[in-house]
Amino acid sequence: MLFYHNSNQALDKLTPTIVRSRHPGEDPRTVNKAVIWLSNKPQLDNPPSKYRYVVEIDENSTSLFMDEPFDQLQKQFNEMFTISGNSWRWFFYFNELDILETNEYDAQQKGYKKINKQRRSE
């Protein structure tokens, strides 16, 4: 399954970090723990992050967890506004990840463009 991670840093690998600027409703399993935040859909930050990284993870990985409080909030939002279909979800991952693809934000195009494709780890 493909996942997405946005960052302003040029990276060769995604490494778990403890981020200080987190929201109070985040999953308690991540508090004071080094994780990599991932989404199941590409998103556009405001302002846009310089890079979007694409990684591939087996959805049954024991290091991959859904951000359950966000997922519950998303379900309530979808029900309130009668939105159906595939939801945007946040996940966190506890181990280093190889990058499958790197995209860079192009301000003129107002979107991301692929700047390189990494080789998959065997």
pLDDT in tens, 75-119: 887 788 877 766 778 899 999 999 999 999 999 988 999 997 665
Domain that holds residue 88: 2-117
pTM for the whole thing?
A: 0.82
pLDDT digit string (tens) for 34-63?
999 999 988 767 889 999 999 999 989 999
pLDDT given at position 121: 47
pLDDT given at position 21: 60
Number of helices (H) and strands (E) in the chain: give both, helices first: 1, 9
Q: Are 29 and 63 in contact (CB under 8 A)?
A: no
Does 105 fall in a domain? yes
Q: Quote the number of domains for the chain.
A: 1
Does 88 fall in a domain? yes
Does 30 fall in a domain? yes
Q: Are 116 and 101 in contact (CB under 8 A)?
A: yes
